[in-house]
Amino acid sequence: MKNKGVLLVVSGPSGVGKGTVCQQLLKAHPEVFFSVSATTRKMREIDQEGVTYYFKTKEEFEQMVADDALLEWATFCDNSYGTPKAPVLERLNEGTSVLLEIDVQGALQVKKNYPDAVLVFILPPSLSTLEERLRNRGTETEETIQVRMKQYRREFEQATAYQYLVINDDLSKAVCDLEAVLRAEQMRTERCQQIIEEVFE
């Protein structure tokens, strides 16, 4: 029997830098498998099948839902997005840890379908920092900023359902924090069946 991999699920409001934190983690830990989502949205020029997304027709996606082949899924603006279950579970059973970067609703679905998942919420140092970053982009109207801030507050309230909170004040510190969560979770007794057997060998 092998040690189980850790299913690390990372969420956080847009603008918090969670994408960068995840990329840095993967760079430092190439042994971690990054789960690629399936989507019904149209392929864009920058997209690569199996890299940015797995592109599916609406019918294919509906079939995946019907087959219970997704760990979580949701529809935004008429496009559906989801996490294919089989590749994730295969990796975990092989002892490989898996990283998912998904939204709060998706993360809570994953936790429900796979209770062993480890949920990490990336926070900004403060809500006002986030507002400032958003304003500094200069691409959003005041109204959009206010709508976003309301949405963030709602998301933060759900962050208390997550097991870990990481503050992205300093990027390298946040990456180390996420690494510590991954490393610690790999040492959880319930995942260490192989270690226990080897010691008793």
In whole angstroms, how close is the CB of 175 to a second copy at the nearest point? 12
Q: Number of residues in contact with a second copy, rule: CB under 8 A?
A: 35
Which residue, 139 or 189, is less far from a second copy as judged by CB?
189
Please report the DSSP string for 1-68 in residue order: -PPPPPEEEEE--TTS-HHHHHHHHHHH-TTSEEPPPEE-SPP-TT--BTTTBEE--HHHHHHHHHTT
Could you give the angle at which helices 127-137 and 142-159 cross, rounded to 10 degrees?
150
∠ CA(192), CA(195), CA(197), 5° rounding?
110
Pick the binder of a second copy from 125, 144, 147, 151 (CB under 8 A): 125
Does residue 131 touch a second copy according to CB under 8 A?
Answer: no
Pick the binder of a second copy from 43, 86, 171, 187 (CB under 8 A): 187
Does residue 199 touch a second copy according to CB under 8 A?
Answer: yes
Does residue 189 touch a second copy according to CB under 8 A?
Answer: yes
Nearest to 9 by CA among 135, 166, 145, 142: 166
The per-residue b/e assignment along 43-72, b for 16 or more CB within 10 angstroms, e otherwise, is: eeeeeeeeeebbbbeeeebeebeeeebbbb
Does residue 184 touch a second copy according to CB under 8 A?
Answer: yes
Does residue 132 touch a second copy according to CB under 8 A?
Answer: no
Does residue 124 touch a second copy according to CB under 8 A?
Answer: yes
Q: Is 68 left (phi over 0), alpha (psi -120 to 50) or beta?
A: left
Pick the binder of a second copy from 126, 136, 146, 151 (CB under 8 A): 126
Q: Please, which of residues 144-183 interact with a second copy by CB under 8 A?
A: 153, 156, 159-160, 162-167, 176-177, 179-181, 183
- Residues near a second copy (CB under 8 A) are 121, 123-128, 153, 156, 159-160, 162-167, 176-177, 179-181, 183-185, 187-189, 192, 195-196, 198-201
